[in-house]
Homo-oligomer: A and B are copies of this chain.
Amino acid sequence: MNQNYDFEQEFIVRDYECDLQGIVNNSVYLNYLEHARHEFCRSIGLSFENIIHKGIYPFVARAELSYKTSLKSCDKFVVKLRVEHSGIKYIFYQDIFRLPDNKICLKSVITTTSVINGKLAVADVIVKAIEKVVEQRNK
């Protein structure tokens, strides 16, 4: 895996994800990105369900998406992800590459945060897990 990313998740386009224009609808990319983030979180011990049970409510505060190349029916692709912790934010840099030619399809920055006891705040359990990932990457 490229050193700039912490996680990769492969997908295949499903026909029902394509729209009138014969390409993946632009909203579906947010589904791909969410699924890759949740799989990444589980891979570092952070299950979305467990986090919510602890009273931590993570949510997306901001999404910036640059669409580069449209994905089509049956295309294979990979979502690559890098995470950063900054103040009360957990920031995910997520890029999508078509396979096998690695053509860039989407570049995105997904800024998330969490609500604890009704207030915007980061959760220790999340911050520690993320810092461990960042440490590992910079080795």
User: Which of A's residues lie within 8 Å of B, judged by CB?
Assistant: 14-16, 18-23, 25-28, 30-31, 34-35, 38, 42, 47-49, 52, 57, 59-67, 70, 73-74
Contacts and interface: CB of A to CB of B under 8 A. Distances in A.
Given A26-B34, A27-B30, A19 B16 contact: yes
A15 B26 contact: no
Contact of A16 (B14, B27, B65, B73): B27
Identical copies of this chain, number = 4
A47 B65 CA distance: 25
Nearest to A65: B63
Given A48-B73, A52-B21, A62-B67, A16 B42 contact: no
A103 to B, nearest CB: 16
5 contacts: A14-B34, A14-B35, A18-B20, A20-B73, A25-B34
B14 A31 contact: yes
A28 B20 CA distance: 14
Given A63-B64, A73-B48, A19 B30 contact: no
